[in-house]
Amino acid sequence: MRAAVYLGKESIEVKDVDKPKVGDGEVLVKVESCAICGTDIRTYFHGHHAIKPPHILGHEVAGTIAETGAGVEGYKTGQKVHMVTEVGCGRCGFCRQGRHNLCPDLRAMAYYYQGGFAEYILIPKEGVMQGNLLDIPAGLSYDEATLAEPLSCCINAQEYLGITFGDMVLVIGAGPIGCFHVELARLSGATKIVLADISEERLALAKKFGVTALVNSAKEDLVGRIKEMTAGCGANVIITACPDPKAQEQALQMIAPRGRICFFGGLPGGKTITIESNIIHYKELSVFGAFASSAPQYRQALELLAGRSIKGADMITHKFPLEKIREALETARSGKGLKVIINP
Ligand SMILES: [Zn+2]
Ligand SMILES: [Zn+2]
């Protein structure tokens, strides 16, 4: 089969590799669409501590079941599926709660196992047993279904934030993740949603999602603008959807009393921030982290996309065949588009 094999920083080669053999309990999926995630971009350009080349990246997968191994129940050839990335041990307390993303022995697809920038992807027995292949609802294309993975991660974060009617929400970072956060905040009833980014191009693309105001934080003082918009009070909810330590520090300076902050975007390895923790104390703040997601949240994401409550099609700006993976990764990094999809 053809696969894009990541060989190290800025090195990826599309070549013939052995098609995976399907063992007992495993399922082979023919990849129809695999979207490029921020993690793929970071890994390709900067490397990833958990990924040892040669390796096949790509975890936002939608496809068709091509083959099922002996003993597999509940899945059949031809079934249209979206893949859950997180493969837990299945035995620890978190796995038993269905929170495989928090499993201490997490073995994710495209990190531990091979990924979806290839014609086929093999789902391991543990993943099959956890029900990691979800039906794509009728009317949803393979391309749109890939979005359920990043959207599910945003749903996971917003469960902690409990956004409700009347909330003023600030999202920092206007990439696909920032746009999903805007859409979810709107569905939850937020009254005002402000989106900030340092790229004018990104802000222009993000305009069509339910944003009340856009702020170019490269040109304007973001903290000052938020204070101005809220009569000095600050935002009720702030989500940092970017890998910028400054955004995390600023969040503490423009949050309202009893506000909730989510540090959604991870920081580049080793980066730290300095915060005045008394702000959390006196303002009675809640500061959350959020990482990955779990199968029930993928299901919610698929339903939101299928019901067109979230405008998935508007999020997809570029599509490339597998052979053009390098160009696709460059495009995704450039910030000239939102979601970039590979159709192997
Ligand atoms: Zn992703
Ligand atoms: Zn576990």
Confidence (pTM): 0.96
CA of 8 to the centre of ligand 2 (A): 30
At 338 the pLDDT is: 95
- Topology at the third CATH level for domain 151-289: Rossmann fold (3.40.50)
Looking at the chain, the domain(s) classified CATH 3.40.50.720 span: 151-289
Q: How many CA atoms are closer than 13 Å to the CA of 321, on its beta-carbon side?
A: 3
CA of 152 to the centre of ligand 1 (A): 9
CA of 39 to the centre of ligand 1 (A): 7
At 270 the pLDDT is: 79
At 49 the pLDDT is: 87
How far is C-alpha 20 from the chain's CA centre?
Answer: 26
- Topology at the third CATH level for domain 2-147+310-343: Quinone Oxidoreductase; Chain A, domain 1 (3.90.180)
In this structure, which ligand is nearest to the CA of 42?
A: 1
At 285 the pLDDT is: 98
Looking at the chain, the domain(s) classified CATH 3.90.180.10 span: 2-147+310-343
CA of 40 to the centre of ligand 1 (A): 8
In this structure, which ligand is nearest to the CA of 88?
A: 2
Which of helix, strand or coil describes residue 34?
strand
Cβ neighbors of 182 (< 8 A, separation 6 or more) are 169, 171, 193, 195, 206, 209, 210, 211
Q: Are 203 and 216 in contact (CB under 8 A)?
A: yes
CA of 269 to the centre of ligand 2 (A): 25
pLDDT along the chain (344 residues), means of 10: 97 98 98 96 91 97 98 97 96 94 96 97 97 97 98 97 97 97 97 96 93 97 98 98 96 98 90 95 98 96 97 95 98 93 98
In this structure, which ligand is nearest to the CA of 103?
A: 2
CA of 292 to the centre of ligand 2 (A): 14
Q: Are 146 and 170 in contact (CB under 8 A)?
A: no
CA of 149 to the centre of ligand 1 (A): 6
